[in-house]
Structure 1
Amino acid sequence: MIVTSAPASTVAGERQFCLTFDDGPNPPDTDRLLDVLAGHAVTAVFCLVGEVVRAHPDVAARVVAAGHLLGNHSLRHDDMGDWPADRVRADLVEATAIIEDATGAPVPYFRAPFGSWGASEAVATELGMTPLGWQLAVEDWLAPPADTLVGRIRDGLEPGGVVLLHDGGGDRSSTVTAVQRVLPHLLADGWTASLPARLPSGR
């Protein structure tokens, strides 16, 4: 299933794609996922929730140690679609501070919870973060079987596509298994994992 979120985000290249993971960090699924990605030398973007990072700072730090980039996914995963800009700014600033304190790394991307952007796209840009949408969402938050997710990724991925997946927000073992199964197929088919472009002023 293809679901496009504004702002639409892609990576350069005819056979390139980007994996992104939301709502973590979430042991043990994030830990297992990091092992899978390392096994294929794939770098991804992890969009972290501030309060979840506060609960699992060691896992967040491991994401950075493994070479992945970070996104701010808000403080508590609230729908900010109708929030005034000042409230959005306070949320994002606090979430970024928590993430940076836990990881020692910058947070170059922002993804709005539920893809409900409202004022958050402009606020994130003002704060130096690149708003990160997606080309493909496979509804892994509903926890379908791993084979179903593999099929949705292989059938729905378009050149330059950013894939929305989840390592947090519940039991994500099916997602981790799907990534483990689909990566060898994508790489063997000539796809290359890449990262979305960042704002010139991005941190």
Structure 2
Amino acid sequence: MADSEAHSTDNGSAAPDSRRRRTRQGRTRAARCPTPSDDPSRRVMAPFPCSGTAPTAPMRGNIDHHRHHCRPPEREPTDGRRLHRPRRRSVALTFDDGPDPQAAPRLLEVLRKHHVRAVLCLWGDHVREHPEVVREIVRDGHEPGNHSLHHDDMSAWTPERIRADLKQTGALIHQAASGAPVRWFRAPYGSWGRSPEVAAGLDMRPLGRRLAVGDREPPGTDELVRRLREGTTPGAVVLLHDGGGDRRQTVEAVDRIIPEFRAAGRRFDMPARRA
């Protein structure tokens, strides 16, 4: 009956409709993110981030939570050199111009010894010549990147020409290592042109760098270690080379800097992939 279905107060009487409305309103208030006017002691159900998604576990509704969890998403920068940095206090190692049949296996051995994963941006011509090295890269858990077919400057290319080049390079990588995802693209010489939007259309993310170590012309292992030590900031994507010349100094510098950075409290991670 209607009387038996009504909510009851402590004395057994039916609760007024206004209380049910307040209850529903309370649930509505609890589903939004806290604002500075909210009671800091109130426990809320806050979505993360503020995008209309389903609430997560209860969080303390204070100002710090609001600032940290409820800020609007950052806009993607258009400058390819600053895209996809790893998380704070971490360092992402990336290597261009491989796979080189001499340098790459030595580099992979060093990374394996230190349990570090990296992104290796592969030159299509070299992939065709040394597919076995590509398979070793993928087998060790590293991520291959697309570095174009012939290492050409793409800054003045049309989107159609860029797309054809990147698709050919990606096909060579997939042929060498079937099933390997190619999530990254880095433009040769840092000359991006229209390539970031084309890469995005092929489900690849432009991979920038915060530190270019300058190892194309080997300056000596000690100098490379100094540049890495002084130039690597928290969250940096570091650009090195594992192809295009004699890379023994680069491999030795990486072998020396990894334990040094770890002793300083840094960790190695893959570049961040923002949605």
Same structural fold, with TM-score higher than 0.5 when normalized by the shorter chain: yes
Residue deviations 1:38-88, cap 9 Å, x none? 111000000001110000000111000000011100001000010000000
Which among 94, 108, 117 is matched to residue 168 of structure 2?
94
Q: C-alpha displacement at 1:197, in angstroms?
A: 2.1
Aligned to 2:262: 187
1:198: Cα distance to partner?
A: 2.5
TM-score after normalising by structure 2? 0.69
1:174 corresponds to 2:234: no
Correspondences of 1:30-45 after superposition (within 5 Å) = 30-45=104-119
Counterparts of 1:50-61 in structure 2 under 5 Å? 50-61=124-135
Task: Give the deviation of 1:143 after TM superposition.
Answer: 1.0
Quick check: 1:153 aligned with 2:228?
Answer: yes
How many residue pairs get aligned? The number is 195
TM-score, length-scaled by structure 1: 0.94
Give % identity.
52
How far the C-alpha of 1:7 sits from its partner, in A, is 3.5
When residues 124 and 199 of structure 1 are mapped into structure 2, their CA distance, relative to the original with a 3 A threshold, is farther
- Runs of 4+ in structure 1 deviating by more than 6 angstroms, as ranges, are none
CA contact (8 A) 2:98 2:120 kept: yes
Conserved? CA contact 1:130–1:199, under 8 Å? no
- How large is the RMSD of aligned CA atoms in angstroms? 1.0
SS in 1 for 2:151: coil
Specify which of 131, 142, 145 is matched with residue 206 of structure 2.
131
Contact residue 155 and residue 193 of structure 2 kept, 8 A = yes
**Which 5+ residue runs of structure 1 have no aligned equivalent?**
none
RCO (CA 8 Å, sep 6+): is it higher in 1 or 2?
1
Give the AA of the match of 1:129. M
Q: Partners in 2 of 1:198 and 1:90 — Cα distance?
A: 24
C-alpha contact (below 8 Å) 1:128/1:199 kept by paired residues: no
